[in-house]
Amino acid sequence: MERDFYDRYYELEDSHWWFRGRRRIITQEARRLLGPGAGEHGGAELLDVGCGTGTMLQALGALGHARGTEMESAAVEFCRRRGLTEVQVAGTPPLPFADASLDLITILDVLEHVEDDAGLAADLRRMLRPGGHVIATVPAFPLLWGRQDDISHHKRRYVPATLRAALEGGGLRIERMSYFNTLLFPPIAAVRLFRRVRPAKGELTSDFEMTSEGPLNDMLSRVFAAEARWLRRRDLPVGVSLLAVASAATGA
């Protein structure tokens, strides 16, 4: 991601509808995987790989002992402003955690940033305890490539087959895969496709600036977060993003 955007992301992560909705979906899935004993003192070891400026890591801290890694030192400094001290600068594998030491790893909108996504998945598999899980999210559909992908230095967007190939290529076993950000898929896709026909001129600006505050932001947050109820019961057939839950494949 462009370094200049970290200041703004630090301001947005608490309140922007996209971050709020994604946090609700991920924390719900994490609670399901960790079971009824999940809690700050429940003993689970959690890691958020690519934890950004730290809001998701704070939420995971309510479920166990949560630590984070980030490739950029600027992001780690923002985490420390939130009082998050167990965040390390770490880039390419191997990440600085012992084999079979973690119960849950979240890697949220990170795989698309790395050249060797299967290699990173293999390192996640190495760190998982027996019975542990990975929750991964990635942007979906190459057709939706837009300026946010450029700003964020993405290498690719995914479909289920390519995400499955990356995770299984690293020795992980897929337990669940679903699209999400489904209700807002039509307007977001329309905007992205229009921009492919009529690209914006001038300096790149983040899509997050379009709806960063006010009643519209609150409404979009409620719409996006409402998908958490659906995802308790079913996988969704289309969306702006993909969610995968994986565990260590036997014999990998």
Domain range summary for the chain, segments of one domain joined by +: 3-248
How far, in Å, CA of 28 to CA of 26, rounded?
5
How far, in Å, CA of 193 to CA of 83, rounded?
40
How far, in Å, CA of 62 to CA of 34, rounded?
12
Cis check for the bond before 96: say yes or no (omega within 30 of 0): no
**What is the reported pLDDT for 170?**
97
What's the sign of the alpha-carbon dihedral 179, 182, 188, 193?
A: positive
Overall pTM > 0.85: yes
**What is the reported pLDDT for 202?**
58
Quick check: 148 and 158 in contact, CB under 8 A?
A: no
Q: Does domain 3-248 have CATH number 3.40.50.150?
A: yes
Would you say residue 76 has pLDDT above 60? Answer: yes
At 225, is the secondary structure helix, strand, or coil? helix
Mean pLDDT of 40-55: 89
Mean pLDDT of 220-236: 93
Integer angstrom CA distances of residue 123 from 33, 49, 96, 169, 199: 20, 11, 10, 11, 38
Would you say residue 82 has pLDDT above 70? Answer: yes
Kindly report the average pLDDT of the chain as a whole number.
90
CA 245 from centre of chain? 12
Contacts of 183 (CB under 8 A, 6+ apart): 223, 224, 226, 227
Q: Comparing 114 with 10, which gets the higher pLDDT?
A: 114
